[in-house]
Amino acid sequence: MSKESKSKQSAQHEHFMALTLSIAEENKRQGGYGVGAMVVKSGEIIASSDNSIRRTCDPTGHAEVNAIREASQRLNSERLTDCWLYSSYEPCAMCAAAAAWARMKGIVFANRIYDSRNPQSYRVDVTCEAIVNASSPKLEIIPDVLRERGMALMDFRPGERKK
Ligand SMILES: [Zn+2]
């Protein structure tokens, strides 16, 4: 990739990550764990979602799974070829595998699992990279995009539930 198109691409990643982090921040304000995700194809937002675990009492309601599901329905295809997954937080094993099953182009995230500031936060200790390395074909992984802004969300204590 040329230098110019590379910097254009990184500007695009920052643009969509800023929107993804806004979703995560709003999720936190609404009583969620503070995670957001987005599916983008050719510079167009196909789907976006926040983490719905507490709202829907569904342990699989991760923002990334929600966004992938919605994008597949919108594109009427189980294959999200050429789509990027943006996530405020490094996708867990379930979500990274979902992106691989959807044959996505790549995954962009702000914070890594080890950025978590809450030692009690529950997590499945497998990196996104480990899942991608075990899948075929491999997705591109772009970590640390707007990482500093995302750090504010890294305590993983859910926000106050709205009464
Ligand atoms: Zn997940």
**Domains present along the chain, CATH in parentheses:** 10-154 (3.40.140.10)
Average pLDDT for residues 50-59, to the nearest whole number? 92
- Report pLDDT digits (tens) over 122-141: 788 899 999 999 999 899 99
How much distance in Å is there from the Cα of 9 to the middle of ligand 1? 25
Give 27-45 pLDDT, tens digit per residue. 999 988 899 999 999 999 9
User: How far, in Å, from the CA of 163 to the mean position of ligand 1?
Assistant: 26
Residue 159 pLDDT level (bands cut at 50, 70, 90): low
Whether residue 67 contacts residue 79, with contact meaning beta carbons closer than 8 Å, is answered with no
- 8's tokens: 């254009």
Q: How far is CA 156 from CA 63, 89, 96, 118, in A?
A: 14, 11, 19, 6
Catalytic amino acids? 64
Task: Give the C-alpha distances (Å, rounded to integers) separating 94 from 4, 20, 66, 126, 134.
Answer: 35, 19, 12, 10, 13
Distance 109 CA to ligand 1 centre (A): 12
Q: How far is CA 6 from CA 9, 20, 71, in A?
A: 5, 21, 26
Q: Is this model's pTM higher than 0.75 or not?
A: yes
Per-residue model confidence as pLDDT tens digits over 89-108 = 999 999 999 999 999 999 99
